[in-house]
């Protein structure tokens, strides 16, 4: 980390310590990465599905579907989370990015991280043990299996997204999770508005250059538009190396793989089991088949106890 980032270093460590200790057992080493408990409490469960919608607006036209359940970040990656990556990652960050982050105020830690290139978003994801959504995954998550026009319904409703239509002044992003009424049925926030979100592949209109990339969903600097309309989608083609004040990202992981790899890390206290039941209630009945399979297949008592707690909540 560069010497000029010393102020960032102090703020990140102070910010992350409560989160990390909250998810670690006694005597666990302090790490700047988010604990498995903190992560699972921020994940939404998105079941596999195939809505009746084809994506002619995506390179190589394909069905908007996902073939496996995903755990998807309910919120766009925040400034606090991205600052932790910059502080601890083994790469040397771009000095331009470091200077930008140093202007972030501690009170703004729950705003979405922006001014991030697509490649930096990919690198953050690898560091955090997750990944970016593909274009088809992003669209599936945003419009649900019913192929809605907006994340919440087929009709526009004012006050559900941070776009120019909201009339905020000065124009600015809002804290992640602000617009409860604008969330999807699976509890994903800000899929429309707030900040554009990088995905891993290209959508229509991309230049086809090796450096081209795509972001979805609009921002506080764009007017509302349906996520999907007559075969077209609310996306823009950018350079993978572009930095914009209104472009950020969210992350995901295959549900089965992530749970198998991390659920045994969850502390086994009564308090944590109660929190896991709350996660299960939010995930709902669509998560029951997968959770049941994982419980039956588990050979770890710790993993089985945690999975059973989530499963019991999902059945409520």
Least confident of 46-50, 113-117, 282-286: 46-50
Q: Which of 46-60, 78-92, 205-219, 251-265 has the lowest mean pLDDT?
A: 46-60
Compute the distance between CA of residue 170 and CA of residue 168 in angstroms, rounded to an integer. 6
The model's confidence at residue 63, banded by pLDDT at 50, 70 and 90, is: low
Distances (CA, A) of 241 to 94, 116, 247, 268, 285: 11, 8, 12, 43, 41
Cβ distance 291 to 311 under 8 Å?
yes
pLDDT digits (tens, 9 = 90+) for 162-196: 999 999 899 999 999 999 999 999 999 999 999 99
Residue entry with tokens 């086809």? 208
55, pLDDT greater than 70: no
Model confidence at 118, in pLDDT bands (50, 70, 90)?
very high
Omega prior to 170 cis, within 30 of 0:
yes
- DSSP assignment, residue 5? G
pLDDT in tens, 239-263: 999 999 999 999 999 999 999 999 9
User: What percent of the chain has a predicted confidence (pLDDT) above 70?
Assistant: 82
**pLDDT band with cut points at 50, 70 and 90 for residue 9:** very low
- The C-alpha angle 35, 41, 42, rounded to 5 degrees, equals 95
DSSP string, 79-97: HHHHHHHHHH-SS---HHH
292 phi/psi in degrees, rounded to 5: -65, -40
Q: How confident is the model at residue 201 (pLDDT cuts 50, 70, 90)?
A: confident
Q: 70, 215 in Cβ contact below 8 A?
A: no
Neighbour tally for 90: CB within 10 Å: 5
The pLDDT-based confidence of 87 (bands split at 50, 70, 90) is confident
| Residue 222: partners with Cβ closer than 8 Å, 6 or more residues away | 163, 164, 193, 196, 246
**Is the pLDDT assigned to residue 205 strictly greater than 80?**
no
Say what angle helices 301-315 and 288-297 make with each other, to 10 degrees. 160
User: Residues with Cβ < 8 Å from 183, sequence gap 6 or more?
Assistant: 74, 151, 152, 189
Distance CA 237, CA 206 (A): 5
Q: What beta strand segments (E) does the chain contain? A: 43-46, 54-55, 62-63, 70-73, 131-132, 196-198, 212-216, 228-229, 232-233, 235-239, 247-248, 251-254
Mean pLDDT score of the chain: 84
* Most confidently modeled range among 36-40, 90-94, 277-281: 277-281
Digit-coded pLDDT (tens) for 256-287 = 999 999 999 999 899 999 999 999 999 999 99
* Alpha carbons 228 and 313: distance in angstroms, whole number: 33
Task: Give one word for 217, left, alpha or beta, with left for phi > 0 and alpha for psi -120 to 50.
Answer: left
């Amino acid at each position: 980390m560069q010497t000029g980032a010393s102020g960032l270093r102090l703020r990140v460590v102070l910010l992350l310590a409560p989160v990390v200790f909250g998810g670690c057992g006694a005597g666990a080493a302090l790490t700047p990465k988010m604990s498995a408990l903190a992560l699972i409490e921020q994940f939404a469960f998105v079941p596999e599905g195939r809505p009746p919608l084809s994506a002619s607006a995506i390179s190589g036209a394909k069905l908007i579907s996902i073939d496996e359940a995903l755990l998807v970040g309910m919120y766009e990656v925040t400034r606090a989370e991205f600052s932790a990556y910059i502080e601890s990652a083994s790469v040397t960050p771009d000095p331009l990015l470091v200077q930008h982050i140093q202007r972030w105020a501690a009170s703004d830690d729950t705003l979405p991280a922006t001014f991030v290139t697509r490649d930096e978003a990919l690198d953050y994801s690898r560091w955090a043990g997750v990944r970016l959504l593909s274009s088809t995954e992003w669209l599936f998550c945003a419009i649900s299996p019913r192929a809605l026009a907006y994340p919440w319904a087929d009709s526009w409703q004012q006050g559900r997204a941070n776009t120019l239509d909201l009339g905020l002044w000065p124009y600015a992003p809002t804290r992640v999770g602000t617009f409860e009424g604008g969330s999807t049925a699976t509890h994903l926030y800000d899929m429309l508005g707030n900040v554009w979100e990088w995905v891993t592949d290209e959508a229509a209109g991309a230049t086809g250059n090796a450096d081209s990339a795509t972001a979805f969903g609009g921002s506080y600097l764009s007017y509302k538009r349906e996520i999907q309309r007559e075969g077209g989608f609310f996306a823009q083609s950018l350079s993978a190396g572009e930095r914009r004040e209104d472009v950020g990202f969210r992350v995901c992981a295959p549900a089965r793989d992530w749970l198998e790899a991390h659920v045994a890390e969850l502390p086994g206290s009564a308090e944590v089991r109660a929190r896991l039941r709350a996660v299960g209630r939010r995930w709902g009945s669509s998560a029951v088949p997968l959770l049941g399979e994982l419980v039956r297949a588990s050979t770890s008592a710790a993993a089985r106890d945690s999975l059973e707690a989530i499963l019991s909540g999902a059945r409520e």
